[in-house]
Amino acid sequence: MSKTVNDRATPLGDTLSVARLVRQPRLARVYTHLHDAGSVTVAETTAALELPERTVYDDVETLREVGFPNGDGSRPERYEAEPIDLVVGSRDEQQTVDATLVAAVARPATDDDLATFRDRHGVDGLATALDHTREYVAGETNHRLVARAMDVSPLEASIVLQALRPLVESGG
């Protein structure tokens, strides 16, 4: 059977699937819950995320179409999210796309600072800020250097670093 670009078994398929995931914050939220919780049902996900059950079923089906959660076949079915580990880039720059970035995309639903940052700078800006946050947590940089590198104010850099820090420290 031939592979299509929607299959995650190909690099292009991975890239397209992840691109779809990071463009939809609610879908990213459902993925993040499945990833963090381990093996969960739609009902458990519905309760945890306070979303309508039909919405969660639709989102789980969308995630299945792009190859992220695996169902175990039980009744009720339990789902586990496949991990994401993808590096995308151009000639000059590379970015890591992983569960932590997906969690950062999902987080603005509950974090106004990240919502504002993502609205201003997009998912690319959020990914860049996440890379800087990893360096910040490791003690390799400070908020002023991040501000200069991202061309934002030191206050905005400090706010986004503090908002993303718990995600980096928890690993997603």
Task: Give the residue carrying structure tokens 């993808």.
Answer: 86
CATH number reported for the structural domain that contains residue 41 in this entry = 1.10.10.10
Domain range enclosing 96: 88-170
Of 48, 81, 114, the domain-final residue: 81
Predicted TM-score (pTM) of the model is 0.77
The last residue of a domain, from among 24, 53, 81: 81
Domain end position, chosen among 81, 96, 114: 81
Residue-by-residue pLDDT tens, the chain, 172 positions? 333 444 555 666 667 778 888 888 899 999 999 999 989 999 999 999 999 999 999 999 888 887 777 788 888 899 988 888 888 777 777 777 888 888 888 886 668 888 899 889 998 899 999 999 999 999 999 999 999 999 999 999 999 999 999 999 987 6
Whether residues 98 and 74 share a domain: the answer is no
**d(C-alpha 55, C-alpha 26), whole Å:** 10
4 burial level (CB within 10 Å; 0-12, 13-18, 19+): exposed
Lookup: tokens for 129? 């800020």
* C-beta separation of 137 from 100 below 8 A: no
117 domain residue, yes or no: yes
Q: Distance between CA 86 and CA 83 in Å, rounded?
A: 10
Residue 1: inside a domain, yes or no? no
Residues 97 and 35 in one domain: no
Q: Are residues 104 and 163 in the same domain?
A: yes
